[in-house]
Amino acid sequence: MAIENDLVRICSVGELPAEGAVHEFPAGKKMLCIAKLNGVISALDNECSHHGGPLGQGMIENGKVICPWHAYAFDLTTGLCDDDADERVRVFEVTVSGDDVLVKL
Ligand code: FES
């Protein structure tokens, strides 16, 4: 559901992944990988830039999301890949408004 302009509601606060985990959520026509680490919510493209693996089905290790297909690690803040400097996923701004988790697409 579009709240205003390009802000899209992803889920409620209670539906967020557990601390240190990731989960896939639809956002408009996209899927996003939503992560929670140290209480900070991050939103990244769910589609890995390497070969399209679903990042939201991966895990967090050493502060990075690990793609479940070939284990490339992506920074939750920058989207940069530790394993290949040519690989990067988009990172989206997250806002919490009341009980709604919103992402700016
Ligand atoms: S598809 Fe993600 S690391 Fe290969």
User: How confident is the model over 18-41, as pLDDT tens digits?
Assistant: 999 999 999 989 999 999 999 999
Asked whether the predicted pLDDT for residue 16 surpasses 60, the reply is yes
At 4, the pLDDT band (50, 70, 90 cuts) reads low
Does 94 sit in the ligand 1 pocket, CB within 6 Å?
Answer: no
Strand pairing report for 64-66 and 30-37 = unpaired
Distance of CA 21 to the CA centre of its chain: 10
Vertex 25 angle, CA 71 and 39, to 5°:
75
Q: What percent of the chain has pLDDT over 90?
A: 91
State the distance from the centre of ligand 1 to the C-alpha of 94, rounded, in angstroms: 24
What lies within 8 Å, CB to CB, of 77 at 6+ separation is 42, 91
Does 72 sit in the ligand 1 pocket, CB within 6 Å?
Answer: yes
Does 82 sit in the ligand 1 pocket, CB within 6 Å?
Answer: no
In order of 6, 13, 67, 74, 93, the CA distances from 64 in angstroms are 26, 22, 10, 5, 17
Asked whether the predicted pLDDT for residue 3 surpasses 60, the reply is no
- Domains of the chain, each with CATH number or no CATH: 2-94 (2.102.10.10)
At 5, the pLDDT band (50, 70, 90 cuts) reads low
Q: Tell which one of 72, 83, 84 to mutate to probe ligand 1, the residue whose CB is within 8 A of the most ligand atoms.
A: 72
Give the phi and the psi of residue 3 in degrees, each rounded to 5: -85, -55
